[in-house]
């Protein structure tokens, strides 16, 4: 009999869980819906057939199938971790005065701001993410970038790097994001140094990871901020609830409500084709598949997460609040 791995309320038979992932990978690898992102020229070059699923539990068990070592840029998933760093730098009360936590119901790149409160709506849409990144401390551009890279090192357990070609591509074509930054400057939402903030934002989005990394990062959030592979703390535990709350309500853009209803766990997507999902106290999930739906979410990734939630009973409001159990033979 396979060894049981106990992860909080999750009781896992390794062969059973791996079989679930293999079945899902086989089921959805032929799904041809969606299209790769092309508004950033470098992203349009990615192979649409790439597909991987990875789960890492809070006690460090790893289950993965497909192209889980394939590298890609993290894109909007980076917003989750930049938000955590801004919270550590300034505390939740101050950050809340600069960036709200309300879902918008609009696309991730919508140019909408809360003019009454003088804040972007939340840190998961582009305007809010740019404002959040502008809060990261440092005496200059190099120190601030190094702090961001060090942060990602803590979450992944290894050094990370910026894809210069993707960064340059985003920087040269990111006119919409630049317009948002100038609009926020007009309303006093960010300070004068918007070019430095935009460069750091484009760099954080161009950080290179793989599907395994996504799952480890998600598991770190599930494990109250401690990386379950390295045992090192990545973020102050007091901010985990802030991060996960905003992920749950805003992380899937204008699909967030339906995601909460059908999948029921905090998650964040990116136009790279990645989805990072967190089952608190149990596991982190990473899925990578580049073709996106009209909302900018991975088509295969959404379907995989829906089925994982159903099969493993991960929904926060089902099965005793996310308790799940996989037995051999089920």
- What values do phi and psi take at 55, rounded to 5? -125, 135
155 annotated ligand binder: no
177 annotated ligand binder: yes
46 annotated ligand binder: no
Angle at 164 between CA 201 and CA 127, to 5 degrees: 15
- Contact by Cβ (8 Å): 166, 206: yes
Distance separating alpha carbons of residues 310 and 119, to the nearest angstrom: 37
Q: Which of 253, 269, 287, 289 is catalytic?
A: 253
- Contact by Cβ (8 Å): 86, 92: no
271 annotated ligand binder: yes
327 annotated ligand binder: no
Angle between helices 175-186 and 126-133 (to 10 degrees): 70
Distance separating alpha carbons of residues 238 and 46, to the nearest angstrom: 38
Q: Which of 201, 209, 304, 309 is catalytic?
A: 201
The answer to whether residue 79 is catalytic is: yes
Distance separating alpha carbons of residues 94 and 320, to the nearest angstrom: 35
CA 30 centroid distance within chain: 25
The answer to whether residue 63 is catalytic is: no
The answer to whether residue 201 is catalytic is: yes
Q: Which of 7, 76, 78, 289 is catalytic?
A: 76
The answer to whether residue 253 is catalytic is: yes
148 annotated ligand binder: no
**Structural tokens at position 257:** 């409500």
Bridge partners, 147 (sequence order): none
227 annotated ligand binder: no
Q: Which of 65, 68, 79, 155 is catalytic?
A: 79
The answer to whether residue 306 is catalytic is: no
Residues in the annotated binding site for substrate: 76, 126, 170, 177, 201, 253, 271
Residues in the annotated binding site: 76, 126, 170, 177, 201, 253, 271
Catalytic positions, please? 76, 79, 201, 253, 271
């Amino acid at each position: 009999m396979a060894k049981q791995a106990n992860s909080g309320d999750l009781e896992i038979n390794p062969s059973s869980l791996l079989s679930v992932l293999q079945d899902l990978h086989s089921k959805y690898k032929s799904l041809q819906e969606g299209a790769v992102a092309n508004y950033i020229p470098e992203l349009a070059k990615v192979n649409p057939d790439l597909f991987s699923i990875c789960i890492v539990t809070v006690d460090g068990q790893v289950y993965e199938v497909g192209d889980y070592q394939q590298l890609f840029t993290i894109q909007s998933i980076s917003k989750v971790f930049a938000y955590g760093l801004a919270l550590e730098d300034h505390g939740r009360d101050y950050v809340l005065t600069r960036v709200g936590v309300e879902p918008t119901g609009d696309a991730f790149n919508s140019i909408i701001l809360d003019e009454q409160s003088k804040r972007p709506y939340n840190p998961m849409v582009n305007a809010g993410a740019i404002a959040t990144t502008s809060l990261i401390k440092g005496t200059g551009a190099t120190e601030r970038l190094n702090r961001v890279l060090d942060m990602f090192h803590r979450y992944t357990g290894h050094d990370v790097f910026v894809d210069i070609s993707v960064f340059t591509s985003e920087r040269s074509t990111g006119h919409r994001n630049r317009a948002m930054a100038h609009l926020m400057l007009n309303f006093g939402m960010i300070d004068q140094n918007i070019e430095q903030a935009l460069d750091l934002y484009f760099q954080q989005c161009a950080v290179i990871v793989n599907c395994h990394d996504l799952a480890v990062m998600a598991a770190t959030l599930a494990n109250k901020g401690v990386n379950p592979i390295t045992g090192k703390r990545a973020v102050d535990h007091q901010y985990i609830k802030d991060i996960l709350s905003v992920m749950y309500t805003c992380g899937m853009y204008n699909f967030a409500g339906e995601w909460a209803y059908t999948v029921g766990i905090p998650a964040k997507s990116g136009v790279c084709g990645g989805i990072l999902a967190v089952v608190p106290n149990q596991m982190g999930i990473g899925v990578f598949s580049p073709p996106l739906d009209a909302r900018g979410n991975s088509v295969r990734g959404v379907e995989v997460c829906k089925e994982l939630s159903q099969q493993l009973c991960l929904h926060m409001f089902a099965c005793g609040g996310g308790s799940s159990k996989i037995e051999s033979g089920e």
